[in-house]
Structure 1
Amino acid sequence: MQIFERFNLGHGFRKYFEIAPATNTALRNDVFRIRHEVYCEELKFEPERPDRLETDVYDPHSLHCLIRTANEPNHLVGCTRLVLANPDDPLAPLPFEQTCGHTLDRSIVDPLKLPRESIAEVSRLAVRAAYRRRKGDERAPVAISEEDFGTGDRPRFPYIPIGLYLGAVALAARSGIDTLFVLTEPRLASHFGKLGVDIRQIGGPVEHRGIRVPSMMHVPSIIKGMRFIVKPIWRVIQEEIERGFEKEAGGGKLSGK
């Protein structure tokens, strides 16, 4: 992690961005607008909607968060969601269970045998095109590559995608979720390893808007094993997520610092 030693990643994130839980209808609509722009209008993964809000059957039992620019809180950057088990039908499959049911290695983990209230899936990550600048990113809703971490001489950090993933972890931790599932590009495990996150592949690859593999992460282990240099950005994100829930509970307006 020497490439990050010159940075306080928490200060760096807070300088440029803020993250917030989508705790009310207006904020959730911001999330759905980002998703529509990326998934429907730009990438054509989903049909365009007259209201320009991309939603599906999982959203009513999901937690959502979004990243905005720090100086312009109304300027949207990206979003993600945490799909929880359906409280009305706990055994109903999560999205990855639908997509990867035939490739899951149930000798590693069988999601149906886990307490359903303790599992969730990170899903629908989306970053607006202006913040996906690298060649090749234009066909992916969010991406991380080796060059995002820079070199010893020119260190960098992928604040937006890592911020979204850490936002999902923060939502999971405060919701009592132990196990996170995610359907991602095969190379993601090596990038998470740079952060001290152990992500384990649990099945074979599938074609789902590109080649994807199902993986799992243990939430308490993510937090405990996080590399020292990454902890400042984790603390900032955890604080901002918690502050967002507190403001909503107190009737305050969720806007900026």
Structure 2
Amino acid sequence: MATSLSLKMARLREMLQLHKHFHTYFKVIPAVTPDLVREAQRIRHSVYCEELGWEPVNEEGLEQDSYDENALHCLLMAVRSQRYIGCVRLVLPQVGHPDHIFPIQESCRDTLYAGYPDLEASERGETAEVSRLAIVADYRRRKNELSKPISIDLQEDATIQGRRRFPYIPVGLYIGMLEMASFYGIKTMYMLTEPLLATHFSRLGGNLKPIGDAIEHRGRRRPYVMEVEEVLKSANLLLRPLIWTIRRDVNSVLSDSLCPWEIEEQFKKKWRHREAT
């Protein structure tokens, strides 16, 4: 009994220090330059092409597709080694091009529920699709994760001396992409992922809602939707210091990368969003 209580107290102390632990070992970095985008594409090539064989290996060592040019990319760095170890992207709608489709529409075709994606919101530039989440092999801890580009399990994570370890890497990428979406005025995000992964994201406050039937796409996948600000506001209380830490880092990089008139436009987008909500 005493041992069980001790483990619970240790777990609580760890949760209260999540933001400090994360900042010591990891940093979320928006890929705001062509060189940084290539770093994300290198990770994708390592995971999707070399490890999983989902895409063909190429001499450049970059996994690219037609959606990259119209996407926001995000990286996760291991602070001590200064090595990029994870990535994710947000595919944006092409405003003024109603024939443009998201990857989720290409994969799911007729299995999406009516009204998804929201074409009017897409035309306003308020939607995006999360895709190409990937973590390099030596940071996917368990053997059963090596056949997946990313894994997050808040219940059965790996243990150290009897204590579960918090999945800093996928959660850091998850929060980073949410903050990038918020910064650019994106209100709604779509995701095609494993139902179990969606459940674990929802435990963080994600509240992913199914928007179509499950399909076979590199395993069983189902399309989901999430509301950006709702997720950020309803996150677990113990996660909020971690969210604030990552939001601060992401906002700092994005603000520094914009010209003055672009910063003004982003401010206007955020102001319009606050007025609407």
Q: TM-score, normalised by structure 2?
A: 0.83
1:22 matched to 2:31: yes
* C-alpha spacing 1:169/1:149, structure 2 compared with 1 (3 Å): farther
Partner residue in 2 for 1:111: 117
SS at match of 1:147: coil
Choose from 229, 240, 243 the match for 1:220. 229
Aligned pairs, number: 246
Give the gaps of 5 or more residues in structure 1: 251-257
Query: Aligned equivalents of 1:102 and 1:178: distance in 2?
Result: 24
- Between Structure 1 and Structure 2, the one with more helix by share is 2
C-alpha spacing 1:130/1:149, structure 2 compared with 1 (3 Å)? closer
**Mapped pair 1:242 → 2:251:** yes
Query: Percentage identity across aligned positions?
Result: 39
Map of 1:37 onto structure 2:
46
Distance (whole Å) between structure 2 residues aligned to residue 95 and residue 159 of structure 1: 27
> Which residue does 2:170 correspond to in 1?
161
- Of the two, which has the highest radius of gyration? 2
State the shift of 1:189 in Å. Answer: 3.0
Paired position in structure 2 for 1:94: 102
Residue aligned with 1:72, SS: coil
Superposed displacement of residue 190, structure 1: 2.4
Aligned residue among 205, 213, 219 for 1:204: 213
**Alpha-carbon distance between aligned partners in 2 of 1:234 and 1:105, rounded to the nearest angstrom:** 32
Cα separation, partners in 2 of 1:110 and 1:32, compared to 1, 3 Å: same
What is the CA–CA distance in structure 2 between the aligned matches of 1:81 and 1:2, rounded to whole Å? Answer: 37
Measure how far apart 1:14 and its partner are.
0.6
Tell whether 2:69 aligns with 1:60: yes
From the superposition, tell whether residues 54 and 103 of structure 1 become closer, same or farther in structure 2 (CA, over 3 Å): same
Q: Can you list the C-alpha shifts for 1:110-159, whole angstroms capped at 9, x where unaligned? A: 214341111101100010000012121111111123312869x7242111
RCO greater where, 1 or 2, for CA within 8 Å and sep 6 or more?
1
What is the Cα deviation at residue 227 of structure 1?
1.1
Give the structure-1-normalised TM-score: 0.89
Q: Out of 225, 229, 249, which is 2:238 matched to?
A: 229
Aligned to 1:253: none
The more displaced of 21-30 and 83-92 is: 83-92
Q: What CA distance in whole angstroms lies between the structure 1 residues aligned with 2:9 and 2:229? A: 25
Confirm or deny that 1:193 pairs with 2:202.
yes
Cα deviations by residue, 1:43-94 (Å, 9 ceiling, x for unpaired): 1110112211111110111000100111222x11100001100246244111
Unaligned runs of 5+ in 2: 1-7, 260-277
Distance, in Å, in 1 between the alignment partners of 2:81 and 2:254 is 20
